[in-house]
A and B are shown apart, each in its own frame.
Chain A
């Protein structure tokens, strides 16, 4: 079981959370002219690194907030969590 520290609620079990994927992928700005390639990159292309990964989780069975988690994809160790508006360095 993973234990994730929600910045709003504290340490909670993984079962309360839902995964939302790579948090470093940025959606292009609304109404911005972008190339098809940029759109494909946003929708489909993922780096999926082995090691530290910054990702989105939603505390779906808790406060329902989206949060950022920095986790190791090889060991599942969780280093940092933050509100979705905050940066993880």
Chain B
């Protein structure tokens, strides 16, 4: 594989960039694979990459209905963080932060990971206490956390509304300085290019239509491009999880909902990191191009539409305007939607299933992008070793029946209500 560097860039400039190698091939599906990963999003591509790299399993196919990176990995707001309170979530995502820090070098693809920090704002004494507690939990798990008072927040985001008239004055905030953003498409492309180089077949425009399960054991899948035998199959399809689960006669603690995001026209640099509003559901960061990238609530009803409705955007931006009045002067460039696999406790599931050789990776709710590397890493381990890794030992499907929920935000059983 051609290594990307400043030298290869100069070299290819002499031939008008016409002679670059293709980054990944377009193979015809073989009749049999050791492992088939369904879903060519960030998590699926990362899983295939770590299967090849960490476990030397290279007879692997990724089956993607559309094109790789066309789902949620291309639709998120690119935020990367590990500011969780529960041990299981904190350890899992902090392991992921270590993978992020070295990802550009490892993939030889600039994912533009930019750890500029995230600030969760507090608007009451009670919220400050809750953040102090969460910050302490994070530090006990080795994650950097800093409790900021009002003046410290004002130094970092002076353009926020600090006047006396506001309905929800800023009391302070909790900051994770090592959090940040990355170029989401590059993550998918970087994993795809390396996985392809190690022998993984990336099969696009191929829809899974059914499964071959014999005596409780997976034998293969049926697709729009023919039947494929597989010793092991991994489901990594986010918002389409319930559709495939139905074909397997499985019911899961997952509902699929639409989440919208939007960007403004690009402006000069003014916001360094990520900021979340604590009195409503609104978060904002500024992309490297200068656009303000914003998001917030789910539309709030089951949906597979990948597009939402205006009332939710208006509601989210009302919160945005309360925090940053300057937003009223910006034109909105575009809005879009993605479909979220909302788990009933708000935490993901990476586990084996009752069908031998079938593995499940779902329930990412709003936060799948930040976990892309660690999700792939642990899912690859779970598939290769046929057992969960310590990192995902609490992200199991049976937690809903045993009562060991990871209800990080305390929103109860129906996360989408919050």
Contact = CB atoms under 8 A, between A and B. Distances in A.
Contacts of B253: 44-46
A55 B255 CA distance: 13
A45 B253 CA distance: 4
B305 A75 contact: yes
A54 to B, nearest CB: 11
B309 A50 contact: no
Interface of B, secondary structure class, is mixed
B256 A48 contact: yes
A48 B251 CA distance: 9
B372 interface: no
A49 B401 contact: no
B243 interface: yes
Contacts of B310: 1
Most B CB contacts (10 A, CB to CB) among A13, A18, A21 go to A21
A6 to B, nearest CB: 16
Given A41-B251, A50-B243, A74-B304, A15 B311 contact: yes
A14 B308 CA distance: 12
| Residue of B253, B254, B301, B311 with most chain A CB atoms under a 10 A cut-off | B301
Interface string B275-303: 00000000000000000000000001111
A53 interface: yes
Contacts of B300: 18-19
Nearest to A21: B414
A74 B401 CA distance: 30
A73 B309 contact: no
Interface string A38-73: 001101111111100101000000000000000101
Interface string B243-279: 1001000011111100000000000000000000000
B326 interface: no
B298 to A, nearest CB: 10
B255 A14 contact: no
Contacts of A53: 302
B413 interface: yes
Contacts, number: 69
A56 B303 CA distance: 14
A46 B413 contact: no
Query: Chain A contact residues (Cβ within 8 angstroms of B): what range?
Result: 20 to 34
A81 to B, nearest CB: 14
A88 interface: no
B242 interface: yes
Question: Looking at A15, A50, A74, which has the most chain B CB atoms within 10 Å of its CB?
Answer: A50
A79 B401 CA distance: 35
Given A49-B246, A50-B243, A73-B305, A44 B344 contact: yes
Contacts of B311: 1, 13-15
Interface string B386-418: 000000000000001100000000000110100
A12 interface: no
Contacts of A18: 300
B242 A47 contact: yes
A14 to B, nearest CB: 6
Interface string A1-40: 1100000000001110011011000000000000011001
Which among A49, A53, A76 has the greatest number of chain B C-beta atoms within 10 A?
A76
A44 B413 contact: yes
A46 B301 CA distance: 13
Contact of A50 (B242, B251, B344, B413): B242
Given A36-B401, A43-B344, 15 more contacts: A1-B309, A2-B309, A13-B311, A15-B311, A21-B302, A40-B401, A46-B254, A46-B255, A46-B344, A49-B242, A50-B256, A50-B304, A55-B302, A74-B304, A76-B305
Interface of B: 242-243, 246, 251-256, 300-305, 309-311, 344, 400-401, 413-414, 416
Interface of A: 1-2, 13-15, 18-19, 21-22, 36-37, 40-41, 43-50, 53, 55, 71, 73-76
19 contacts: A13-B311, A21-B255, A21-B414, A22-B302, A37-B401, A43-B344, A44-B344, A46-B253, A46-B255, A47-B251, A48-B242, A48-B256, A48-B302, A50-B304, A53-B302, A55-B301, A76-B303, A76-B305, A76-B309
